[in-house]
Amino acid sequence: MVYGCGVTTTTGYEAYERAGELLRALSAPIRVAIVTELAEGERCVHELVDKLGAAQPLVSQHLRVLRGAGVVRGARRGREIAYTLVDEHIAHIVADAVSHAREAR
């Protein structure tokens, strides 16, 4: 399989830049875990805190990074904000990366 074939335009390079930004946003293990959780459905911060066993401020900080990168979006649900993935492609990227990491060991 050949990757990047025929991508020589500025638009193609801009796509590489955006892909790099996405991968940087996913570079923290806790963000990978958050995306994995959100792949199963919408979650509020407290649900992610319970599932991941991480402190609420830490989860909120990483959600801000993911939101800023366009990976997740939040919708108010009463007093809470429910987070979801922007699209399924991100879930597939993370699932493939985790699967690959498990195979490599």
Domain membership flag for residue 5:
no
Domain membership flag for residue 18:
yes
Give per-residue burial for 76-88: e unless 16+ CB within 10 Å, then b.
eeeeebbbebeee
pLDDT digits (tens, 9 = 90+) for 3-20: 444 444 557 789 999 999
Domain membership flag for residue 2:
no
What domain count does the chain have? 1
The CATH number that applies at residue 51 is 1.10.10.10
Distance CA 9, CA 25 (A): 25
For the chain, give the mean pLDDT.
90
Q: What is the pTM of this model?
A: 0.85
Domain hosting residue 44, numbered range: 11-104
pLDDT digits (tens, 9 = 90+) for 56-86: 999 999 999 999 999 999 999 899 999 999 9
pLDDT band at 2, cuts 50/70/90?
A: very low
Domain membership flag for residue 57:
yes
